[in-house]
A = this chain, B = another copy of it.
Amino acid sequence: MNDYQFKLVRLEGDFVWHSHPDTDEAFIVIDGEMVIDFRDGNVTLGPGEMYVVPRGQEHKPRASRECRIMLIEPVGTVNTGDAGGPMTAENDVWI
Contacts and interface: CB of A to CB of B under 8 A. Distances in A.
A1 B52 contact: yes
A81 B81 CA distance: 35
- Classify the interface of chain A: helix, strand, loop or mixed: strand
Nearest to A24: B1
Say how many copies of this protein the assembly contains: 2
Interface in A1-38: 1-2, 4, 6, 23-26, 30
Nearest to A23: B2
A48 interface: yes
Interface string A57-95: 000000000000000101000000000000000000000
Interface of A: 1-2, 4, 6, 23-26, 30, 48, 50, 52, 55, 72, 74
